């Protein structure tokens, strides 16, 4: 059961990181960063949360 949860966490982590990077690389985000230098919190939450889920999944699979 632990392996299944680990695989699910890996998949969710990759999806979250991809979503966060997609937001980070969007045109509206680039426009915002050009003028006020801020990155949307959704981008950071997706990338950091995805990385954490991915690492937790790796530890569960092993």
Q: What is the pLDDT along the chain (62 residues), one digit of tens a residue?
A: 889 999 999 999 999 999 999 999 898 888 888 888 888 889 999 999 999 999 999 999 98
Question: Tokens representing 24?
Answer: 């980070």
What is this structure's pTM?
Answer: 0.84
14 CB-near residues (< 8 Å, 6+ apart): 50, 54
Rounded CA separation 7/57 (Å): 6
| Cα 30 from Cα 49, distance rounded (Å) | 21
Total number of domains in the chain = 1
- Domain of residue 21 covers 2-61
């Amino acid at each position: 059961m632990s392996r299944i949860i680990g695989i699910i966490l890996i998949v969710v982590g990759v999806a979250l990181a991809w979503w966060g990077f997609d937001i980070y690389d969007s045109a509206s985000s680039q426009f915002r960063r050009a003028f006020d230098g801020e990155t949307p919190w959704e981008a950071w939450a997706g990338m950091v949360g995805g990385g954490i889920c991915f690492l937790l999944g790796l530890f569960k699979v092993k």
